[in-house]
Structure formats: structure tokens, C-alpha cells
Structure 1
Amino acid sequence: MCVGLPAKIVTMKDGMAVVDASGAKREISTELLENVEPGDYVMVHAGIAIAKIQEEEDEEADEILEELL
């Protein structure tokens, strides 16, 4: 089973992005996805954006993670 974390893209350059994941900034690869830009939400696994998601899905995932911790 894989665990992905939701994050918002802050900046992008050359297939890499800086994302904000609940306040933590990380650099990730966006090479697997097309048509992503700053402001979009993505699911991140092992430093790679694996899916584009909606803001509502980001909020729901954050709520679930808070309950688990």
C-alpha cells in the first residue's frame, strides 16, 4: 500500500515544483503529470506528484490525517 500526501504547488521550474504540504515546503518532481501549475493541488508519493486533485480533496485528506495523528 502506498501513502500519498496532498500538497499545493507554490512554484514550478523544469519539471520540478516546490509544494506546501500542511505548512511544510518540499521540492518534488511533476514529470508524471501534464497541465499542472502553481495553485494546483497534487497527491505526492516519494517526492513525485502522482495525481492532480481538487482543493476539496486536499482538505478532506488533511482532516483524515489530523484524526490519525
Structure 2
Amino acid sequence: MCVGLPMQIVSVDGIAATCTDGTQHETVDLSLLGDQAPGTWVLTHLGCAREVISETEARQIMAALEGLRAIMAGGDAGDAFADLDARAPQLPPHLQAALDAGHPNG
């Protein structure tokens, strides 16, 4: 399983950005996203920024990751998944379209 980590850009030097997750700083490659301004939130994986995300989305991902850490340590997730509790499961758009078109297996 691959997990993207949300980080906020602190500074940019060409295609390299110094980013923080609030506790540590990391150099991140911006090649896939192009120019980004300090303050922008990005989803990173293996040292590369993959997607620009909102601060709200970044906070939700960080809360979910913290919830997973708590569960793995034998604790409780608390409200880490509160944004998912109030809604039914949803298919990705391409699978929902296939189901709507009468193809139950995608």
C-alpha cells in the first residue's frame, strides 16, 4: 500500500521545495507539479510532490494517519475518520459510471 503524506511548502528553489509536516522538514521534488508558492499544501510520496491539496484535505489526511498510528499501537482512532462517519461508501466515478450503465463488475 502506498501512502501519500501531506506537507506544506516552506520555500522553493527551482524544482526543489523545502516542505514541512509540522514536525520535520524535507526536500521535495516539484517536477510533477511545476511552480508552486510557499504555503501551498502538497501530497508527497517518496520525496516527490504528486498533487496540490487544500489545507482542509491535508488536515483530514493527517488526522487519518494519526488515527491509524493509534490503532496500530493498540489504541483508539478517536475522531480521526469523522469525515467518513456521516456518509455511505462511494465508488470511484469510473466504477459508478460502469454500474450506472448496467455493468455490475465494472
Alignment TM-score, normalising by the size of structure 1: 0.93
User: How many angstroms apart in 2 are the aligned matches of 1:37 and 1:51?
Assistant: 14
Alpha-carbon offset, residue 37 of structure 1: 1.0
Which protein shows a greater Rg? 2
Task: Count how many residue pairs are aligned between Structure 1 and Structure 2.
Answer: 69
Q: Which amino acid aligns with 1:25?
A: H
Q: Which runs of 5+ in 2 are unaligned?
A: 70-106
How high is the sequence identity, in percent, across the aligned residues? 33
Q: Distance in 2 between matches of 1:32 and 1:23?
A: 25
Superposition misfits of 4+ residues, deviation over 3 angstroms:
none
More strand by share: 1
TM-score by length of 2: 0.62
Please state which structure has a larger fraction of its residues in helix: 2
Q: Where does structure 1 lack aligned partners over 5 or more consecutive residues?
A: none
- Which structure has more relative contact order (CA 8 Å, sep 6+)? It is 1
